[in-house]
């Protein structure tokens, strides 16, 4: 059913070009994908482009497997079939840099329903819970050494899915509206604080959804957004009915062999062109007991999550509070590492840690129940994960600062962690700060209309 055995691999070096510029030649091709970003070398060294799909696998209530010749529906346990998919690949056996290639895809936040028995909310658009694409051609960018390789895989079973889409040169966004206004959002914050006082939770990540009408060229919107904020875990996925525009700063899971890391973000403050204000904001964030408490709480949660699949004593906090600078904001980041046990693969790792604790809260299951209660719509891909993965390499993000375009509409979310010390007005303002880049791209004044 799934045959991704590789017959031959051709690796050739081509002239280095910025990944976003290079992708201009390919974004209109069916299920083409770009994963890129700028930042520290240990998280932003490589960018990936996938074109000419060989096999496309998606899942909602059943798996749909598509190749050049046919579409097959298959019912299976979600996680069991994930193991079969990963085991069918041979990318990890190839020479560098082909050994970095693999399936490119996403896990929707709604995959939580394949882990926990939590009620499903209302949908205001349709999207698979999971999709993964394996390509005939990849481009691997080494952004440190300024090299690009074209990787062509010849599989034992030939399949080449090919279709082109036509786009205008620009885009239009209109009728922006939010799930709730400031008063409604602040009321939800107060409700969470009641749950905290009752002893249900310690913190909950609350968000709201914004939607608008969209027409034109989705990739030009991504380009504009990326120019405003070239976040290290950005991406553009031309995935059929859904076009995914991602501008995320947050790593979820990164693994090379059995060594893994996760890097939660907690704590955000706006940057300023005024040097004195910018310096003051950095110190405010570094000295914030609320943000520090949020970060340490999630670090403990993630230590426990990765500990489910890691060797005893191998889970370590490499950095418990690091200030990282981005174009528009500062963040506090923690770094946790571990060594996976030999009997586990990356599917076990994802199941043990999904969804990422930084975007649910603590304790995770009760927080997800409260999120389902207070947020009006299913999150879909928001706070899920976009990844590239093979049997020996995994790089994935937390999907925040991102938009989904489908059915002539664009949907995006913004939120933050609510604790007992949260000020409802400040929390609402933080959602505005976080999504400012996207709003600047879709609307000239960058302001959200209630």
The pLDDT tens digits of the residues spanning 81-140 come to 999 999 999 999 999 999 999 999 999 999 999 999 998 877 888 899 999 999 999 999
User: How far, in Å, CA of 55 to CA of 33, rounded?
Assistant: 14
183: Cβ contacts below 8 Å, ≥ 6 apart: none
Candidates 137, 203, 250, 427; catalytic one = 250
Q: DSSP 3-state assignment of 301? A: helix
pLDDT of residue 278: 94
Closest CA to 325 of 389, 260, 281, 374: 281
Q: Which two tokens stand for residue 420?
A: 């007992």
Closest listed residue to residue 399, CA positions, set 409, 410, 414, 377? 414
Q: Is 80 part of the annotated catalytic residue set?
A: no
Q: Which two tokens stand for residue 58?
A: 């998606």
Instruction: Choose, from 188, 243, 266, 364, the residue flagged as catalytic.
Output: 266
Has 266 been annotated as catalytic?
yes
**Ranges of the chain with pLDDT below 70:** 437, 443-450
Q: HSE (CB half, 13 Å, CA atoms) of 323? A: 15
pLDDT for residue 443: 64
In order, the DSSP letters of 406-421 are ETTEEEEEEEEEE-TT
What pTM value is reported for the model?
Answer: 0.94
Mean per-residue pLDDT of the chain:
92
State the Cα–Cα distance between residues 6 and 91, nearest whole angstrom.
8
Assign domain 6-164+171-442 to a CATH class: alpha beta
Q: What angle do CA 120, 123, 127 make, to 5 degrees?
A: 100
**What does the block give as tokens for 245?**
């525009």
pLDDT of residue 437: 64
Residue 210: helix, strand or coil by DSSP?
strand
pLDDT at 446: 43
Q: Give the torsion through C-alpha atoms of 333, 338, 344, 350, to 10 deg.
A: -10
């Amino acid at each position: 059913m799934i045959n991704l055995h590789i017959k031959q691999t051709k690796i050739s070096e081509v002239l280095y070009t910025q990944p976003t510029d290079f992708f201009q030649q390919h974004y209109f091709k069916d299920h083409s994908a770009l994963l890129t970003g700028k930042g520290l070398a240990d998280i932003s060294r490589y960018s990936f482009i996938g074109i000419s799909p060989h096999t496309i696998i998606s899942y909602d209530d059943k798996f749909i497997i598509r190749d050049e010749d046919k579409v097959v529906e298959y019912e299976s346990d979600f996680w069991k079939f994930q193991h079969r998919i990963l085991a069918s690949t041979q990318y990890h056996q190839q020479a560098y840099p082909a050994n970095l290639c693999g399936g490119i895809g996403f896990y929707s936040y709604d995959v939580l329903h394949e882990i926990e028995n939590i009620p499903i909310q209302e949908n205001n658009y349709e999207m698979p819970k999971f999709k993964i694409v394996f390509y005939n051609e990849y481009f691997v960018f080494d952004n440190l050494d300024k090299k690009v390789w074209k990787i062509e895989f010849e599989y034992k079973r030939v399949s080449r899915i090919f279709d082109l889409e036509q786009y205008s040169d620009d885009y239009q966004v209109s009728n922006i509206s939010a799930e709730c206004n400031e008063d409604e959002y602040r009321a939800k914050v107060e409700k969470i604080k009641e749950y905290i006082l009752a002893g249900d939770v310690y913190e909950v990540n609350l968000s709201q959804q914004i939607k608008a009408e969209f027409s034109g060229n989705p990739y030009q919107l991504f380009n504009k957004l990326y120019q405003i904020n070239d976040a290290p875990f950005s991406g553009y996925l031309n995935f059929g009915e859904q076009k995914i525009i991602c501008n995320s700063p947050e790593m979820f899971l990164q693994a090379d062999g059995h060594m893994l890391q996760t890097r939660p973000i907690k704590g955000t403050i706006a940057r300023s062109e005024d040097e004195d204000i910018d310096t003051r904001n950095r110190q405010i964030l570094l000295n914030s007991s609320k943000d520090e408490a949020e970060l340490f709480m999630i670090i403990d949660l993630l230590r426990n999550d990765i500990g489910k699949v890691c060797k005893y004593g191998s889970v370590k906090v490499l950095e418990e509070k690091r200030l990282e600078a981005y174009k528009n904001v500062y963040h506090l980041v923690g770094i946790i590492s571990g060594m996976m046990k030999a009997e586990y693969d990356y599917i076990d790792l994802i199941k043990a840690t999904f969804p990422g604790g930084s975007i649910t809260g603590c304790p995770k299951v009760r927080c997800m129940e409260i999120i389902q209660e207070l947020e009006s719509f299913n999150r879909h891909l928001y706070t899920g994960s976009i990844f590239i993965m093979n049997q020996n390499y995994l790089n994935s993000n937390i999907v925040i600062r991102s938009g989904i375009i489908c059915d002539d509409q664009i949907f995006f979310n913004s939120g933050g962690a609510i604790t007992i010390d949260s000020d409802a007005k400040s929390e609402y303002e933080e959602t505005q700060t976080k999504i400012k880049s996207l709003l600047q791209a879709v609307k000239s004044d960058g302001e959200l209309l209630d």
